[in-house]
Structure 1
Amino acid sequence: MSSPEDIARLRQLKESEPLGNAWITWEQTRKQMEETALLLDDPDPTMRSMAADEITSLSNTLSDIIQNTFPSLLVPQSTTKQLSALLELKSGVGGSESSLFLSDMLRMYQRLANNASWKSSVLAKNDTEGGGIKDAIVEFKGEGAYDALRWESGVHRVQRVPATESSGRTHTSTVAIVVLPLAEETESHDEELFSMDDIKLEVMRSRGAGGQHVNKTESAVRLTHIPTGITVSMQDERSQHQNRRRAFQVLTSRLMDLKITREMEERRSTRRNLVRGADRSEKIRTYNYAQDRVTDHRIGLTMKNLTSVLEGDGIQLFIDAVSKHHDESVMLDLLEDKET
């Protein structure tokens, strides 16, 4: 019978197998490239040409291993890869134009969720006149949703001519996005995140449209986490019980986000130039309609096809690029830690 130590050792060997195979491929390719280089001095011009082509192919293979294979295997596996995501959108500078852009962004993320086979549902939404949305909270359920969306947190800026602008002037508006980790709902709360003794629970009548239901029932719920001052209000559901459940779901996500952000900051204390995904006040991306471009300011990536980002699958390119930048930064951290 295997001991726990033997099982742990076997698991470790199994986990290191892909890295070992990648290293063997690297060594074999490098050796093959050295042998092929000798043929560049062959008197036969056809042989020299074939050798040059082969070296180009082998060089591309080595570059791919360095840039993609090694980073994907050396970067520690994400501890949040199984988590779903909670996306909060809030209109900022720009008034009604900001609200209209928020509705565009909401559709963009819902389309992304559909392509990724995540289940999306709007938990709360504050509509405005003219088809805009002042703020919204959306749930994206599916493995990898949080890891994919987490770097979308920050200020998104749009530059375009509003439909109501008669002089054709370009306006600048903003939408602030916060992406929170979403764990599976359970009957009991996570005691590592909060204690019920730290929660102030208030019930009140709902505000806004709803007729007699709004005036007569105390269905709205407000939770306050006393140690952090985090407040969550929920009134979109019909019953107090449903609003209470949703409010605790959002509170749990915000507290989990605090915990993950704190742990991430502690791990990267020696390096400060990572993508600052946790800085929600930072302008991270600009959508410029006149120039038909989208620019991510953190990694300097510009895409000259705004429609494909907002109405197609172009947003995936930015998500992948920022995620790759993060992985490369983590690798640099690991290398620096080994040197010190």
Structure 2
Amino acid sequence: MEKIIQITSGRGPAECSWVVAQVLKVFLEEAADHKIKTTLLQRETGIENGTVETATILLESNDMSGFINSWIGTIQWIGQSQFRKFHKRKNWFIGIFEIDKAKSTQISENDIQYQAMRSSGAGGQHVNKVSSAIRATHVPTGISVVSMDSRSQHQNKKLATERLLQKFKEETVKQFKTAFQAQWMNQLQIQRGNPVRVFQGSDFKKQKQIKNYKQERQRLKREDYFDRDSS
């Protein structure tokens, strides 16, 4: 299984880019602990030293849904600005998103289907009687081209293959543009409510979830009391 994750500061200030850099470190370390293979596909550094505006990571593992779900969403850091000493703001937010994996950029010969056809247009009797034109189709995507430039079926097959590869590349570029647009929208959609993780301080410690065990014991006692009373 493969997943692509984006960590981004959106349009946030340098402080948010610093948070992205810290989260990226923690994210990669935790992924390694879960035996998840990671490949850093892209990292855009921020204007300040040690900051990252956006990072895109490829994850590979048989089972990583729990890990990913624990990270997807808004990440909050509580701390003093590293770059503006007297800045009053203490809460900073970044986003982590899953983005669509681009389709393969390579064509396998086994995926190309060739079909001989009769050529049309000028050319005399030869055009009408010999099936020299070739249609090449990339079966997985349905992309198709036709070559009837030559009287040689072999030459037309070669030309059709070249045109199919070119058309496939053009479609791939369109996909990359669409994926880039989706990433940009992710950068604009960072929400500050309900963070999935909260870190604090210059040492970037994860905020612990404090449980009130006294209240929990009281709740269990009440349930036990009502169970005995009803029986």
State the structure with bigger RCO (CA 8 A, min sep 6), 1 or 2. Answer: 2
Structure 1-normalised TM-score? 0.35
Is the radius of gyration larger for structure 1 or structure 2? 2
Structure 2-normalised TM-score? 0.49
